[in-house]
Amino acid sequence: MDYYKNFDLEQARKTIKLALKEDIGSGDVTSDNFISKDSVSRADILVKENGVIAGLKIFQMVFNEVDPKVKVRFRVKDGAKVRKGQIIGEVNGRSRSILKAERVGLNLLQRMSGIATQAMRAKEALGDNRISVVDTRKTTPNMRLFEKLAVKMGGGANHREGLYDMILIKDNHIEASGGLEKTIEKIKKVRKKTELKIEVEVKNLREFKLLTENVKGLVDRVMLDNFSIADVRKAIRGNKAGFEIEISGGVNLKNINKYKGIRGIGLISMGSLTHSVKSMDIALDFK
């Protein structure tokens, strides 16, 4: 799979440059004072725990940004399952260059691999390929591009990219708009002037029923927020409008399996794919 087909490489480069500037600043005073500028090294990329590797191209971009002559070679591809103790690639080039790029490159690779691993575990825990496991906007500021890419590499899918590419009316929008009834009237007007997908969050079956009776053909998807399994099933049975159904709120690796086999669920969104994930332990070992 070509994960980078629609990936914004130019934005990725800009983010990488900022990260390198943050780390290197006015210069690597340790390497510049203790390592000869002519020194050349080789370093292995070592995985220290089981998981899914993600962000290899990003890792390579970091080193090439510091020094285009540094060579990075991989033995696996993005999205591959890796095991503790596995050497997944190597870096060759000027020692100073490798050391300047090392931390930023590893930080991105570790973070992305941790997210991909979490996505893989969520998919496996769910055990139902008919239901997509998707991310949210609960991402690290300025890192969403990388983190959403990592979700896909782990077998998950992406929700909206930001506030601009989909209308998602949540509880705070409804409250600020004067209630669900007024929101419904506004949906009817907005639908006439946009082709963007429209999704509405509901908190109970009464709100869901109100949508089925008033916005059939106008709303694309409904988010069932913190619904019990019993109420999820009731909502699906009463989904006369044919809305795509999203499950959200409190879903984790321990309880996601309870949605397995429920026909009518299109996707499950999990903030935990990105907001509290543990980075994978990966090291760069000089040889």
In the residue annotation, 263 being an active-site residue is answered as: no
The end-to-end CA distance of the chain, in Å, is 33
In the residue annotation, 138 being an active-site residue is answered as: yes
Distance CA(215)–CA(56), nearest Å, equals 45
- Helix and strand numbers (H, E) in the chain are 9, 12
Structure tokens at 192: 């006439």
Beta strands in 97-161 (DSSP E): 132-134
Distance CA(132)–CA(88), nearest Å, equals 29
Structure tokens at 70: 């540094």
In the residue annotation, 103 being an active-site residue is answered as: yes
Name the helix (H) or strand (E) containing 90: strand 87-94
Closest CA to 114 of 47, 35, 42, 25: 47
CA 59 to chain centre: 17
In the residue annotation, 147 being an active-site residue is answered as: no
Single out the catalytic residue among 13, 17, 81, 103.
Answer: 103
Cα angle 284, 100, 77 (rounded to 5 degrees) comes to 45
Single out the catalytic residue among 65, 201, 207, 246.
Answer: 201
Single out the catalytic residue among 42, 81, 170, 233.
Answer: 170
Single out the catalytic residue among 65, 78, 147, 225.
Answer: 225
3-state DSSP: the chain helix, strand, coil percent, rounded to 5?
A: 40, 20, 40
Q: DSSP 3-state assignment of 198?
A: strand
In the residue annotation, 258 being an active-site residue is answered as: no
Name the helix (H) or strand (E) containing 196: none
Structure tokens at 31: 């390497």
Single out the catalytic residue among 138, 209, 221, 233.
Answer: 138
Name the helix (H) or strand (E) containing 282: strand 282-286
Catalytic residues: 103, 138, 170, 201, 225
